[in-house]
Amino acid sequence: MIPIILVSHGRLSYELLNSANMIIRNQIEDIYPVSLDEDTGIDTLKEKLLNISKKIKGNEVLILCDIKGGSPFNTSLIVFKNYNYKILTGMNLPMLLEILMNRNHTTLDNLGDIAVKAGALAVECIKL
Amino acid sequence: MIAFSRVDDRLIHGQVQTRWISNIRCNKIFIVDDKVAADPFIRSVLLLSIPNNIKLYIFTVDEAIEKISSAKDTSDRVLILFKTPVSVLRLMKGGMEIKNLNIGPMSSKPNAKYIVKNVYLLDEEIDALKELEKSGTNIYFQLVPEDRKIKLTDLKI
């Protein structure tokens, strides 16, 4: 199973995982939410990510972050530079659900692709 | 033209990415820092961090003196980011004046003093800001555009 890291400004990553868990139960193994908190800063975020890297078995990881170019994104790139990683930006719930449904039976490359497609496809402007 | 100059030790991050870039409507970003310019890995992270419609350039302080003066007379809107006010002072001593300097977040580090919310500065950084202010640079602390500007001259440091 490909390990997943969710990383965000504030608690979004934790709540996104909670929301996913309302829809898909029992899939929360090997998923690690991480927050950048206003009162601590980048060094603490780096430490949290380093701790997670120790828990991950193997060299592969899929990282989801909220904003491309934000500190959660930048710091993840720095901490996981020697891993075989994919980083997805603009994470949302449909993206995460797609990952949870597929991560047992596909490659990291393919998982990244289908997650981005699902995430983008879910964003629409609807008017009745 | 130089649309905005900011000291921010995180350089490109959420506040810059989502608030300042659109607020200033810049199309180019110059990062001015000797260490960053010399680090190929950090350069590649920063290049990945910017929106597709913005061009990012990373310069040493010496390179920046020339690049900034030639950018001044173009229609480009340039946002300049520094990691430390010491680089801004070196730029000024090299003949490149910065009229208005925004100070964004500067993380806490050993020997750094608390200045305002999210800003900690070393003595040498405080000295650099004071020298810049004396030479006519308007220095203010402001994390995001909605925050009130706090002028350096209003603080007792």
The CATH number linked to B108 is: 3.40.35.10
- Tell me the ipTM for this assembly: 0.76
* Nearest residue in A to B21, CA atom: A69
Enumerate the residues of chain B whose CB falls inside 8 A of the CB of residue A43: 107
Question: Is B157:B142 a contact under the CB 8 Å cutoff?
Answer: no
Terminal CA-CA length for chain A: 41
Residue B5 pLDDT: 98
Position A25 pLDDT exceeds 90: no
The tally of domains found in chain B comes to: 1
pLDDT single digits (tens) B82-134: 999 999 999 999 999 999 999 999 999 899 999 999 999 999 999 999 999 99
pLDDT single digits (tens) B3-57: 999 999 999 998 898 899 999 999 999 999 999 999 999 999 999 999 889 999 9
* Catalytic residue flag (residue B13): yes
Residue A67: which of B18, B42, B107 has the nearest Cβ? B18
In a domain, B153, yes or no: no
Interface touch B50/A69, C-beta < 8 Å: yes
Tell me the domains of chain A and their CATH numbers.
4-121 (3.40.50.510)
The reply to whether B23 touches chain A by the CB within 8 Å rule is no
In a domain, B11, yes or no: yes
Which residue among the candidates A1, A2, A3, A9 is catalytic per the annotation? A9
Q: Give percent of chain B with pLDDT exceeding 90.
A: 93
